[in-house]
């Protein structure tokens, strides 16, 4: 068992995508001038979303409206909405953050990271573990409840700017570009089904792997530069960013078992719960809680938790799932 775990972790660490992340991180750390131009990085992100949504839609259509789909969706919603309350308490207690920054950071940890999900599902595919295509929809469902929870926690901001900014915020929360592409592609995948998939097979399949490598290279650069520019992180915060994913994943696994989700679905649910948002949540927080310190929440989610999940978390959560599923 432990041997398998070691081998699985090794396989993950040797996956090209993970190695490209490491390359980016090292290049950023050495202050290389390497950068993926931002418009291309943004497009890669949209493209990854498109692939994940589309493939998920095709697979979800193939398997139909199973009860698993419903329980996974409901579980995802609950986890995403509940997590910020616990995370907020922990951040206040151990991280010594002010109220607003703690709420904003909690939103990130309740919400999810698309690329962590992508890496997780690639990992499961590589080791031959099946999971439901609807997990892409669960991913989409988990993006926003955490943001709403954080807003509840922080309380309505009031003040003159409040009224003015509301519509922008709701648009950002529900209609941010990434979410629209993810959900839209899921629906398109479900509609076009196999004929559509055949046409786009290569585009959303073989190409995806390479694009993920390129994007992770960029993530490595951004993460390590972010971390270098963040002197404010105390050990309490770093501890939170490493321990929270573990606890969160464990809770997700337990709940998944209770709901009879499959091994693959449970593993992905753990990955989602453990992951922290770095696209949707920061964008919303910048609008809704502008007094929160972006240096804190971005450094934690992007600089600490993302690498941890990518390098260690994904194989670990799956290994724990295996143990639990016997």
Partner 1 sequence: MDLVTRTKLEIFVEAHAVNDLERMLTRVGFKGCSVFEGVEGAGSHGAWRQTGVDEAGMRLIITIGSEASARAALTWLEDYFKSYPGVVAVSEVKVLRAERF
Residues in the site for partner 1, rule: CB under 8 A?
33, 35-42, 44-45, 157, 159-161, 164-165, 168, 172, 218-219, 221-222, 225-226, 229, 278-279, 282-283, 286-287, 290-291, 293-295, 298, 302
- Convert residues 92-131 into a mask of x (bound to its own copies by CB under 8 A) and - (unbound): ----------------------------------x-----
Cα distances (angstroms) measured from residue 126 to each of 129, 209, 288: 8, 11, 40
User: What character string, x for contact with Na ion (CB under 5 A) and - otherwise, covers 271-300?
Assistant: ----x-------------------------
Which one among 1, 2, 3, 30 touches its own copies, defined by CB under 8 A?
Answer: 30
For partner 1, the closer CB: 264 or 307: 307
For partner 1, the closer CB: 124 or 298: 298
166 is a site residue for its own copies (CB under 8 A): no
* Helix/strand/coil for 15: coil
What is the spatial distance between Cα 256 and Cα 253, in angstroms, rounded to a whole number?
Answer: 5
Question: Measured from the CB atom, is 64 or 231 closer to partner 1?
Answer: 231
The smaller minimum CB distance to partner 1, of residues 184 and 295, is found at 295
Residue 175: contacted member of its own copies, partner 1, Na ion, none (CB under 5 to 8 Å, by partner type): its own copies
CB atoms closer than 10 angstroms to residue 126: 12
Among 4, 32, 156, 234, binds its own copies (CB under 8 A): 32
Residue of 13, 7, 61, 75 whose CA lies nearest to 252: 75
| 128 class by beta-carbon count within 10 Å (0-12 exposed, 13-18 middle, 19+ buried) | exposed
Give yes or no for residue 34 binding its own copies (CB under 8 A).
yes
CA 62 vs CA 49, 66, 70, 129, 227: distances in Å: 20, 11, 16, 18, 43
Q: Which residues contact 126 (CB under 8 A, 6 or more apart)?
A: 11, 15
Q: Give 40 or 243: the residue with its C-beta nearer to partner 1.
A: 40
How many helices (DSSP H) and strands (DSSP E) are in the chain? 17, 0
What whole-number distance in Å separates Cα of residue 99 and Cα of residue 121? 35
Show the tokens assigned to 212.
Answer: 């993920």
Integer Cα distance of 217 and 44 in angstroms: 12
Tokens of 248: 């969160």
Residues that bind its own copies (CB under 8 A): 14-16, 19-20, 23, 26-27, 30-40, 42-43, 46-47, 50, 54, 126, 171-172, 175-177, 180-181, 184-185, 187-188, 191-192, 195-196, 199-204, 206-207, 209-211, 213-214, 217
């Amino acid at each position: 068992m432990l041997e398998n775990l070691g081998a699985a972790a090794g396989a993950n660490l040797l996956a090209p995508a993970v190695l490209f992340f490491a390359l980016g991180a090292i290049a950023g750390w050495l202050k290389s001038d390497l950068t993926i131009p931002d418009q291309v990085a943004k497009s890669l992100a949209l493209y990854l979303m498109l692939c994940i949504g589309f493939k998920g839609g095709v697979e979800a259509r193939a398997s139909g409206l199973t009860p698993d789909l419903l329980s996974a969706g409901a579980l995802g919603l609950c986890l995403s909405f509940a997590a910020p309350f616990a995370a907020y308490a922990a951040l206040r207690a151990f991280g010594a953050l002010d109220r607003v920054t703690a709420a904003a950071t909690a939103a990130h940890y309740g919400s999810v990271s698309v690329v962590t999900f992508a890496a997780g599902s690639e990992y499961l595919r590589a080791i031959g573990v099946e999971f439901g295509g609807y997990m892409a929809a669960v991913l989409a469902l988990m993006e926003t409840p955490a943001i709403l929870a954080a807003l509840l926690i922080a309380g309505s901001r009031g003040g003159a700017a409040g009224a003015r900014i509301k519509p922008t915020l709701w648009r950002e929360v529900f209609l941010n570009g990434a979410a629209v592409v993810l959900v839209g592609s899921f629906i398109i995948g479900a509609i076009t089904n196999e004929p559509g998939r055949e046409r786009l097979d290569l585009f959303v399949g073989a190409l995806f792997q390479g694009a993920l490598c390129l994007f992770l290279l960029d993530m490595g650069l951004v993460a390590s530069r972010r971390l270098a520019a963040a002197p404010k992180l105390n050990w309490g915060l770093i501890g939170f960013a490493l321990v929270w994913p573990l606890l969160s994943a464990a809770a997700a696994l337990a709940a998944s078992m209770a709901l009879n989700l499959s091994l693959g679905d449970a593993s992905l649910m753990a990955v989602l719960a453990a992951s922290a948002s770095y696209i949707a949540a920061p964008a919303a927080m910048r609008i809704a809680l502008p007094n929160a310190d972006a240096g804190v929440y971005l450094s934690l989610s992007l600089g600490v938790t993302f690498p941890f999940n990518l390098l260690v978390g994904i194989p670990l959560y799956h290994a724990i799932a295996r143990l639990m599923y016997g």
